[in-house]
Amino acid sequence: MKHIIILGDGMADHAIDRLGGKTPLQYADTPYMNFLAKQGKTGMLNTIPDGFLPGSEVANTAILGYDLNKVYEGRGPLEAASIGYEMQPNDMAIRCNIIELANGRIKNHHGGHLTTEEGNLLIKFLDKELGNDQVKFITGIQYRHLLIIKNGNKHITCAPPHDHPNEEWKPLLIKPEEGYTEYNSDRMTPQATADLLNDLIIKSQSLLANHPFNRQRTEKANSIWPWSGGYRPSMSTLMQLYPDIKSGSVISAVDLIRGIGHYAGLDIIKVPGATGLANTNYEGKVSAAIEALKKQDFVFLHIEASDEAGHDGDLDLKLQTIRYLDARIVKPVYEAVSEWEEPVCIALLPDHPTPVEIRTHVKEPVPFAIWHRGIQPDKVTTYDEKSCTRGEYGLLSLQQFMETFMKIK
């Protein structure tokens, strides 16, 4: 049995008055998601451990079967792996968004949806102006970049910018972690690390405000925002955790997900035209997934678009991304693998809800559906946050999902 996970990032949501009290998953036309639910088995999944914020790095790592209390080091190190930066023992890698500030508030977390080329222009400029032997800016994808602090201390408190839309930015500046009192002579103190990062934020604002790129744009990419830092993680591969997986691949437009795949021992497939937005190359990602699954045992197919729509508070766009996932991902994957002689098990789920009316991640269970040829269906007939609560799998937590999924042989 081969296995493929189709993950619609941030796809789950809340009931919305404008949709007659339905969630986007309930409202959107999703015949193939509903087919997997009706012909398969369903349930709900807690993806966020106690004590963790509902970030995609946490949820996706848990979905793949890892104990976050043992392996979590933040987004920075995962994105460093995806970018190809080999972390040194004294490095702290921290995610570095380019965001837009307006009237003293965080207007958005993406600087007006920068392209990778635009982001690269600004990051190289900042590295030239602010980089040194201790500080290095590294280009990632679009607005998502990387900042390396030599001897930096990860015990700091940062505010993910997508969790604080329209909030004043100054109270959200980086602080040392409360209650952390250990001393490590090999690293800066948490206070010194926070001071350095806050100084970089302030300096970036004057530099970016005067950059020619911003002078010609209505939307401004006018500040960096570092968050979710850590050291080099130590993770077993999926092949070590689940011996039935001999080889596998991850397909995503997002550095974070690629980084998780890297440490999990998966091949990273980069699809031309994969943007992480609603205009991504759906057909290219499906083709890559099917070709990988012909040769390998496991594929993790990640689609980011619904999460970005949720963060932007764009209901129409979120509905479109859900319809696209159904028609342009779930349908062609199902139609292809259902004809194969070797059976394939498909799992469909989000990593967390990103409700459009809140515009940030929330820590709530998400619906999942599992289908393979010959499975005995439960009584659920539609795929959504309410229906799947009646599913035969019940409520699973964290690693239980992957353990359940990989037991299907």
Look at residue 184 in the predicted model and tell me its pLDDT: 78
The model's pLDDT over 84-94, given as tens digits with 9 standing for 90+, comes to 898 999 999 99
Q: How many CB atoms lie within 10 A of CB 123?
A: 23
Question: Which uninterrupted H or E stretch holds 4?
Answer: strand 2-8
The mean per-residue pLDDT over the stretch 259-274 comes to 94
The model's pLDDT over 313-327, given as tens digits with 9 standing for 90+, comes to 999 999 999 999 999
CB 292 within 8 A of CB 299: yes
How far is residue 95 CA from its own chain's centroid?
Answer: 12
Contacts of residue 365, Cβ cutoff 8 Å, sequence gap at least 6: 44, 45, 46, 47, 395
CB 343 within 8 A of CB 297: no
Residue 353 DSSP code: B
Q: Give the tokens for residue 230.
A: 């850590």
Pairing of strands 175-176, 156-157: antiparallel
Entry field: residues in the chain: 409
CB 334 within 8 A of CB 35: yes
Look at residue 377 in the predicted model and tell me its pLDDT: 97
Exposed / middle / buried, residue 6 (Cβ in 10 Å: 0-12, 13-18, 19+): buried
What predicted TM-score, i.e. pTM, was given to this entire model? 0.83
User: What is the secondary structure of 9-63 as a DSSP string?
Assistant: TTBB---BGGGTTB-HHHHS--HHHHHHHHHSEEEEEE-S-TT----HHHHHHHH
The model's pLDDT over 144-203, given as tens digits with 9 standing for 90+, comes to 999 999 999 999 999 999 999 999 999 999 999 998 887 778 899 999 999 999 999 999
Query: CA dihedral in degrees (372, 378, 380, 386; nearest 10)?
Result: -100
The mean per-residue pLDDT over the stretch 43-64 comes to 96
Look at residue 187 in the predicted model and tell me its pLDDT: 93
Look at residue 182 in the predicted model and tell me its pLDDT: 79
The mean per-residue pLDDT over the stretch 247-258 comes to 94
CA–CA dist 269, 248 (Å, integer):
10
Look at residue 209 in the predicted model and tell me its pLDDT: 94
CB 223 within 8 A of CB 101: yes
The model's pLDDT over 276-335, given as tens digits with 9 standing for 90+, comes to 899 999 999 999 999 999 999 999 999 999 999 999 999 999 999 999 999 999 999 999
CB 255 within 8 A of CB 144: yes
Given a cut of 90, whether residue 82 has pLDDT beyond it is: no
Given a cut of 80, whether residue 6 has pLDDT beyond it is: yes
At 156, the amino acid letter reads: I
Look at residue 75 in the predicted model and tell me its pLDDT: 87
Q: Identify the CATH homologous superfamily for domain 2-71+235-406.
A: Alkaline Phosphatase, subunit A (3.40.720.10)
pLDDT confidence of 406, banded at 50, 70, 90?
very high
Given a cut of 90, whether residue 234 has pLDDT beyond it is: no
What are residue 251's DSSP bridge partners?
Answer: 269, 301
Of residues 403 and 186, the one with the higher pLDDT is 403
CA atoms within 13 A on the CB side of 207: 20
Residue extents of the structural domains in the chain: 2-71+235-406, 79-230
The model's pLDDT over 105-140, given as tens digits with 9 standing for 90+, comes to 999 999 999 999 999 999 999 999 999 999 999 999
Of residues 378 and 181, the one with the higher pLDDT is 378
Look at residue 233 in the predicted model and tell me its pLDDT: 87
Look at residue 180 in the predicted model and tell me its pLDDT: 85
Look at residue 251 in the predicted model and tell me its pLDDT: 98
